[in-house]
């Protein structure tokens, strides 16, 4: 399994490197995705459940989220997004899954994960976090494009980042609400101010701030700062809370 994940990541990297050769980049991107999807399907078929129980598994799942969204952008005519903005974070997601020590690729028998809210909650967050990652890369490209004097290119990247966040934000909101419903069913409490819950709320509020600033009559530096803070909070929510001993989440220690 580990070799399949690494091979898939390498194919994603090649798609990113060959971004100026559209056909070759697309071919490598699709091949990487098929291998990525095969990993997920293999575990699902053998265990009867999607591998979404821990950080390692979710990172592998996130890797498969980028190609469908890129194809949707291409089909809608937004070709400025570029395959590299999607294939590179897909590769990083898979490579991170190799090195992260939180969990394994095996599916456990945790009874709390039998809830009907489990898959919708984790999938909505995984997809939204994946798209937020691409949005952040587009935001960084917009910043450096402006510094390099490419105002038109910078504005296109800014717009792509904004569109991705608009698509992702409802999914993130659903993830937050479905998590509360799941918590009530599992622990008879909608909210317990667990570390991951708290940081997920902070992340949601920062992205809401970004959306308001992005559409408001304020300088771009304010919306870009909010975007940077929101994505930083997302990384803390998704990775730091699970991996750093001092921030360990009690209720989310297994997934």
Average pLDDT in the 13-21 region?
83
Answer with the residue of higher pLDDT: 48 or 131. 131
Average pLDDT over residues 33-44: 90
pLDDT at 38 over 80: yes
pLDDT at 88: 87
Cα 185 to Cα 111: distance, rounded to the nearest angstrom: 12
pLDDT in tens, 123-160: 999 999 988 988 998 888 888 877 766 777 788 888 88
pLDDT at 255 over 50: no
Is the model's pLDDT at 49 over the cut of 70?
yes
What pTM did the predictor assign? 0.83
pLDDT above 70 coverage of the chain, percent: 87
Q: What is the mean pLDDT of residues 201-220?
A: 91
pLDDT tens-place string over residues 159-184:
888 988 999 999 999 999 998 888 88
Kindly give, in sequence order, each residue whose CB lies less than 8 Å from that of residue 239, ignoring residues fewer than 6 positions away: 55, 96, 100
Distances (CA, A) of 158 to 73, 114, 205, 215: 15, 40, 20, 12
Condensed to tens digits (0 to 9), the pLDDT of residues 52-88 reads: 878 888 899 999 988 888 887 777 666 555 677 788 8
Q: What is the pLDDT of residues 95-113, one digit of tens each?
A: 988 888 765 666 666 666 6
């Amino acid at each position: 399994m580990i070799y399949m994940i690494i091979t898939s990541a390498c194919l994603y990297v090649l798609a990113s490197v060959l971004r100026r050769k559209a056909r070759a980049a697309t071919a490598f991107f699709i091949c990487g995705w098929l291998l990525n999807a095969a990993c997920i399907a293999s575990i699902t078929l053998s265990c009867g459940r999607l591998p979404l129980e821990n950080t390692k598994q979710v990172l592998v799942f996130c890797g498969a989220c980028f190609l469908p969204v890129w194809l949707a952008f291409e089909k809608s005519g937004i070709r400025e997004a570029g395959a590299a903005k999607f294939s590179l974070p897909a590769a990083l997601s898979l490579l991170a899954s190799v090195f992260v020590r939180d969990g394994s690729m095996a599916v456990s028998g945790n009874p709390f994960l039998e809830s009907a809210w489990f898959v919708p909650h984790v999938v909505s967050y995984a997809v939204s976090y994946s798209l937020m990652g691409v949005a952040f890369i587009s935001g960084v490209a917009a910043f450096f494009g402006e510094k390099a004097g490419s105002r038109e290119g910078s504005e296109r990247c800014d717009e792509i980042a904004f569109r991705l966040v608009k698509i992702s934000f409802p999914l993130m909101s659903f993830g937050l609400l479905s998590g509360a419903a799941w918590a009530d069913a599992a622990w008879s409490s909608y909210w317990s101010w667990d570390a991951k819950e708290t940081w997920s709320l902070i992340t949601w509020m920062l992205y809401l701030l970004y959306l308001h600033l992005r559409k408001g009559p304020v300088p771009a530096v304010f919306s870009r700062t909010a975007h940077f803070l929101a994505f930083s909070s997302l990384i803390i929510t998704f990775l730091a809370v699970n991996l750093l001993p001092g921030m360990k989440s009690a209720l989310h220690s297994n997934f």
